[in-house]
A and B are shown apart, each in its own frame.
Chain A
Amino acid sequence: MKADLLTLLDGRLIVSLHEDWKRAGQPTLPQGSLVSLELKALSADPEHLQPALIYAPAAREAFIEAGATRGHLLVHSLDNVNGRAYSYAPEPNNHWSRRRLDLPNNISVNVIDTDLHSEQAYVQVTGFLTPPKLMRADLGAGTLTTAKTLPPKFDASRDVVEQFEATSKDGTKVPYFVVHPVAMKMDGSTPTILNAYGGFLDARTPTYSAELGKLWLERGGAFVLANIRGGGEFGPAWHEAGLKTNRQRIYDDFAAVGEDLIAKGFTSSAQLGIMGGSNGGLLMGVEFIQHPQLWRAVDIQVPLLDMLRYEQIAAGSSWVAEYGSVSVPEERAFLASISPYNNLRAGVKYPEPLIWSTTKDDRVGPQHARKFAAKLAAMGVPYLYFEVIEGGHGAGATPDERAKMHAREYTYFSSKLGL
């Protein structure tokens, strides 16, 4: 069984379960749960473990991390992608009680540290419009107080964050956050950037971004984060639903969010742009070939794009568990069907994409981005290609380079989407 040993609390081992723990004659402990094992019982009879359930995720919940203080356990979980923090205390008879720490919706939580010698812990709280805030938790009292807040990097006073849900092709409900001007008209006229990642169990939660705020939101644009399958937003099952030959679900989820934004009147295809990096860059490439008319701008950042050769390029061979391998016939057939590099078609009207990468990226490598651009050039499809010559798997090695790369991106979106 896949599980993580997280910490010790007052003679109890704290374990998170990556898959169901099936036990003869006893209820199954579900995937994504947190359980404790008393060390005394464990060493007395290691053959018959007696786990106590601390936390079991409800339908739209996921466990993220936990840390111990002297007598409590701080648990960070997601509830429909909203960050939550709980203080748990061990009780007699293998039970745990819990108290919810008071936090608003539409924010992210990050456990900074927990003190084994007191009841104190520190958590960072942040949101799309909320600069990172360091908060001190007293797990005994169940309280949170602000210790320090970073100064705001942009004027967020005219914006608001909301959460909605789209319905994907197979009926799965896909949540998404929209950051938009309070005063926007719901007539499809707002320049909007849609972003997602969709892979590697990576839960994408609200984040404070100075460049997004300053270069886009403050100027009246809207931003959307889609919590598509492949990530860990709803625990391991959300990730596993989109592995290997099931990956089309991830791409359908993203398109469903795009269509929902248009249906709700946030934006229209002429003013909808998409951005994603790395595995999210592959997502961009797939959306580019599968729905060329749904987006006006496609920002393909440090992408994977040649999925028939990805195992030969940079660190590609280490991601076979996620994407599958061309050495397995059915996986090869699937990769051939979605590989953006291999599915560009003459005569299709594609939006002009911005494709960029970095020369020294040794994870994804610049190869995918280059070849895709070169193929577009050979086909006579307009595109913009940029490669940062210094720096790794990111937008550049220095603040200057990063600032210029972000300026290129938001200039591109502004020009395409009319902002």
Chain B
Amino acid sequence: MKFNLLLALFGFSAAFNVGTAAAPAAGAAPAANASPAANASPAAGAVPAAGDPFLWLEQAHGERAMQWVKAENVKTDAVLERDPRFLSLSFISWVPRVPRN
């Protein structure tokens, strides 16, 4: 309907989704920036997959990838959740459903 539907395409900033604001990327028009099909598929061999040691992390739900993810999350929260500020920054009253454990 409105021009800003177009503007919403792919637009998202985690800093800016509050209350009545539109959910991230919700309502985005998926086709508006779609490229001509002719441009969309790069020639085979043009893709620098060879020699990429971390290609296995591209398996979004792969078992090995998810093990890596979980280990990273533990490492990161050992730093951030252990920070004395974390508690006061996460138990903010405007999110009433955050448990106060």
Interface residues of A (CB under 8 A from B): 4, 6, 16, 63-67, 110-111, 124, 132, 150, 153, 195, 197, 199-204, 207-212, 214-215, 232, 275-280, 301-302, 308-309, 311-315, 317-322, 325-328, 332, 342, 359-360, 363, 365-367, 370-371, 373-375, 378, 384-387, 389, 392-395, 398-400, 402-412, 414-415
Instruction: Tell which of B2, B3, B61, B77 touches A386, judged by Cβ atoms closer than 8 Å.
Output: B77
Q: Which residues of the other chain, B, contact A412 by a CB distance below 8 angstroms?
A: 80
Instruction: Tell which of A153, A195, A365 touches B60, judged by Cβ atoms closer than 8 Å.
Output: A365
Nearest-Cβ distance from residue B8 to partner chain A, whole angstroms: 7
**Is B89 in contact with A371, judged by CB distance below 8 angstroms?**
no
Nearest-Cβ distance from residue A400 to partner chain B, whole angstroms: 5
Name 9 A/B residue pairs within 8 A (Cβ), A-sorted.
A6-B3, A210-B94, A278-B11, A311-B41, A315-B30, A385-B76, A389-B66, A410-B85, A411-B85
Instruction: Tell which of A66, A363, A370 touches B57, judged by Cβ atoms closer than 8 Å.
Output: A370
**Is A63 in contact with B3, judged by CB distance below 8 angstroms?**
yes
Q: Which residues of the other chain, A, contact B81 by a CB distance below 8 angstroms?
A: 408
A387 to B57, CA, bound (A): 13
Instruction: Tell which of A201, A402, A415 touches B6, judged by Cβ atoms closer than 8 Å.
Output: A201
Residue of B nearest to A394 (CB): B24
Nearest-Cβ distance from residue A107 to partner chain B, whole angstroms: 14
Going nearest first, the 4 A-B pairs with the smallest beta carbon separation are A407-B90, A327-B42, A320-B35, A394-B24
Q: Which residues of the other chain, B, contact A16 by a CB distance below 8 angstroms?
A: 3
Residue of A nearest to B79 (CB): A384
**Is A387 in contact with B69, judged by CB distance below 8 angstroms?**
yes
A93 to B83, CA, bound (A): 69
Instruction: Tell which of B10, B47, B60, B86 touches A202, judged by Cβ atoms closer than 8 Å.
Output: B10
A11 to B18, CA, bound (A): 39
**Is A400 in contact with B7, judged by CB distance below 8 angstroms?**
no
- Taking CB atoms and an 8 Å cut-off, the chain B residues in 10-59 that contact chain A are 10-21, 23-25, 30, 33-36, 39-43, 46-49, 52-54, 57-58
Instruction: Tell which of A276, A277, A322, A374 touches B33, judged by Cβ atoms closer than 8 Å.
Output: A322
What total of chain B residues lie within 8 Å of the partner, measured CB to CB?
66
**Is B12 in contact with A319, judged by CB distance below 8 angstroms?**
no
A275 to B16, CA, bound (A): 11
Nearest-Cβ distance from residue A402 to partner chain B, whole angstroms: 8
**Is B54 in contact with A375, judged by CB distance below 8 angstroms?**
yes
A363 to B23, CA, bound (A): 14
Identify whether the interface residues of B are mostly helix, strand, loop, or mixed.
Answer: loop
Contact of A309 with B48 at beta-carbon distance under 8 Å, contacts A318-B40, A384-B79 already known: yes
Residue of B nearest to A275 (CB): B15
Q: What 1/0 flags go to B90-101 for Cβ under 8 Å of A?
A: 101011011100
**Is B46 in contact with A371, judged by CB distance below 8 angstroms?**
no
Residue of B nearest to A361 (CB): B60
Q: Which residues of the other chain, A, contact B10 by a CB distance below 8 angstroms?
A: 199-200, 202, 278-279, 319, 363
Residue of A nearest to B83 (CB): A411
Contact of A326 with B47 at beta-carbon distance under 8 Å, contacts A394-B14, A395-B14, A412-B80 already known: yes
**Is A363 in contact with B25, judged by CB distance below 8 angstroms?**
yes
Q: Which residues of the other chain, A, contact B79 by a CB distance below 8 angstroms?
A: 384
Instruction: Tell which of B40, B60, B85 touches A359, judged by Cβ atoms closer than 8 Å.
Output: B60
**Is A277 in contact with B14, judged by CB distance below 8 angstroms?**
yes
**Is A203 in contact with B39, judged by CB distance below 8 angstroms?**
no
Given pairs A132-B21, A365-B60, 5 additional interface contacts (CB within 8 A): A200-B11, A320-B35, A326-B46, A359-B66, A367-B60
Instruction: Tell which of B40, B48, B49 touches A320, judged by Cβ atoms closer than 8 Å.
Output: B40
A321 to B47, CA, bound (A): 18
**Is B25 in contact with A403, judged by CB distance below 8 angstroms?**
no
Q: Which residues of the other chain, A, contact B80 by a CB distance below 8 angstroms?
A: 384, 386, 407-408, 411-412
Q: Which residues of the other chain, A, contact B92 by a CB distance below 8 angstroms?
A: 210-211, 214-215, 403, 407
Q: Which residues of the other chain, A, contact B14 by a CB distance below 8 angstroms?
A: 275, 277, 301-302, 394-395, 405-406, 409
**Is B33 in contact with A395, judged by CB distance below 8 angstroms?**
no
